[in-house]
Chain A
Amino acid sequence: MHLAYPAVLSALLFCTGLYGVLARRNAILVLMSVELMLNAVNLNLVAFDAWLSRAAEDTLHSGQALALFTIAIAAAEIGIGLAIVLAVYRNRGTSDIDRLRDTAEGHDPDDPDSDATGREAPAPRAAGEKAEATA
């Protein structure tokens, strides 16, 4: 098989994920896009492993091993990432990335906007309880 097929597909998938990371507003959608990017990398790894195991008689299968590791690390990442998103959502009442602007110049921690989000805080907590009950 021509190596350009998986390589080009992986490049396109990567850039699709890139677009998602940059353009999506919801933090969970951003995490999905990150998964797409990781999978594009995995495809690359597997394709080159398949090529090199014959062309260079590579017996280590480093591409496949690294792909497995990437999958494991991606799983850990998604767990931590979701925990962070949930914590943020509990504290701020939103998981929209472009509303989390604490690092902006001139940001005042006591401004009325953050007060408003503080008042919303009990609502998602109730939602969390509900989700736990259903789980």
Chain B
Amino acid sequence: MTLAAAAGTAAHATTTTAAETHGFLSPTGVEIAFLLVGLVTLGAAIITVTTRQLVHAALWLVVALGGLAVEYLLLTAEFIAWVQVLIYVGSVVVLLLFGLMLTRAPIGRSPDADSGNRWVALAVSVVAAAALVWVVADAFRTTWIDLDGAPSGSTEVTGASLFQHWVLPFEALSVLLLAALVGAIVLSRKAKDGAATGARATRRDSEGVR
């Protein structure tokens, strides 16, 4: 705890000493859990973007987003984890499924789910991933997160911060959501028949956020 307090006063000065206490090859329990859930999340994400069955892609997306919620919990950000579950898993994925249905997406394997651009896309994303991972790992290889003590992302802490320091952006965001609501209605209303569906879905979505 003395070392942790020192790290709190001068983060950069303590990183070298902190590295000595945390062995890179001796992960803690939290780290192991994070790693396992992260693998599942990454796997689900990869399946989401590669599967040929469109509805399965949406369902694998649920797995990936749920895995991310667990990761938030492991990072002690519990409020965001529940928001993630509510909004993403609860409404966004449902909305996406509705979209798939409304555009008459084929059930089952569709051979043309990937466009002809996929090899280029693969190259670009692999190079980007290599570059990002290299930079991130190089930059933060001696940085540690201190997860002990009071959780930093509890509902109380987050609410206090949000309504003390972030109240003005919060209200601005509500205006943005209103604009999105109106926009979605106008877009969907162009053809009279299909208008109601899109508008209703969007309204539900924005209510979920509030």
Contacts and interface: CB of A to CB of B under 8 A. Distances in A.
Q: Direct A–B touching in the complex (beta carbon < 8 Å)?
A: yes
CB-CB nearest 7 A-B residue pairs: A22-B121, A20-B49, A128-B194, A15-B129, A76-B180, A23-B121, A19-B125
Given A3-B145, A71-B83, A127-B104, 12 more contacts: A1-B28, A12-B42, A15-B128, A16-B125, A25-B113, A25-B114, A31-B99, A71-B84, A76-B205, A82-B198, A87-B191, A90-B190
A56 B169 CA distance: 23
B105 interface: yes
A31 B105 contact: no
A57 to B, nearest CB: 6
A87 B188 contact: yes
Contacts of A26: 54, 103, 105, 113
Contacts, number: 329
Interface residues of A, number: 85
Given A4-B140, A25-B113, A82 B161 contact: no
Contact of A12 (B61, B76, B133, B209): B133
A46 B80 contact: yes
Interface of A: 1-9, 11-29, 31-33, 35-36, 39, 42-43, 46-47, 49-51, 53-57, 59-61, 64-65, 67-69, 71-80, 82-87, 89-91, 95-98, 124-125, 127-129, 131-132, 135
A28 B54 contact: yes
A74 B102 CA distance: 21
B172 to A, nearest CB: 9
Nearest to A9: B38
Contacts of B41: 9, 13
Q: How large is the interface on B (under 10, 10 to 19, 20 to 34, 35 or more residues)?
A: 35 or more
Contact of B198 (A32, A51, A73, A83): A83
Which secondary structure dominates where chain A touches chain B? Answer: helix
Contacts of A64: 77, 79-80, 152-153, 158, 161
Contacts of B161: 59-61, 64-65
Contacts of A8: 133, 136-137
B8 to A, nearest CB: 6
Contacts of A98: 115-117
B191 to A, nearest CB: 5
